Amino acid sequence: MKFSIITALSYCLLQQQSHAFAPSLLSSVSTSGSSTTLNMGYVPDGFTKESYAKFKANEAKKAVAKKNLGGLGPRGFKSRSMQSFQEAMERGEAKHLMPVFNAKEKIASGNLRPEDIPYMQRGGSWDQSDIKGAKKKKWLSSDQQYASGGYKKEQP
């Protein structure tokens, strides 16, 4: 009799311990029965929904503008090939361009004209087509070849 009571007690304890590691039937029924969908979007702190949408649209415009970051060639000014520069130097049509210090102030005071500023410094074109009223420089055949994409043929 003593043996059967101890056996029954140990059987009950083992059964309770085994249920501790198994998922309960009640909890699985309650979670599977409730399916909710999240209908909210992400809006950072300090933004309203409308202002965040406007901010994202501005960022998308900036991304489109920076699309060609891996492209070859200069940015901000219209360049010329070294070959055409050397040809123009030999003809006496070009000269070395050194940067001008305080260029904006000198133009404002009237000491310099905009065409006297090197094109790379002013962000313009080597032939001065960006300056109204300035005498345009003559294009050589090597300039036309470079402008039509000749520099891309030389790139690996």
In this predicted structure, what is the pLDDT of residue 24?
60
Residue 71 lies in a domain: no
Is 74 inside a domain boundary?
no
Residue ranges in the chain whose pLDDT is less than 50: 28-30
The predicted pLDDT at position 127 comes to 85
Q: Residue 118 is part of which domain span?
A: 82-151
Question: How does DSSP classify residue 133?
Answer: T
- Total of domains in the chain: 1
Task: Report residue 100 CA to chain centroid gap.
Answer: 32
User: For residue 156, what pLDDT is reported?
Assistant: 56
Q: What is the pLDDT of residue 58?
A: 95
Integer Cα distance of 75 and 72 in angstroms = 9
Distance CA 21, CA 24 (A): 9
pLDDT for res 97 = 80
Whether residue 56 contacts residue 64, with contact meaning beta carbons closer than 8 Å, is answered with no
* Per-residue model confidence as pLDDT tens digits over 82-127: 888 888 889 888 888 888 899 899 989 999 888 888 888 888 888 8
Look at residue 36 and tell me if it is in a domain: no
Partners of residue 10 on adjacent β-strands: none
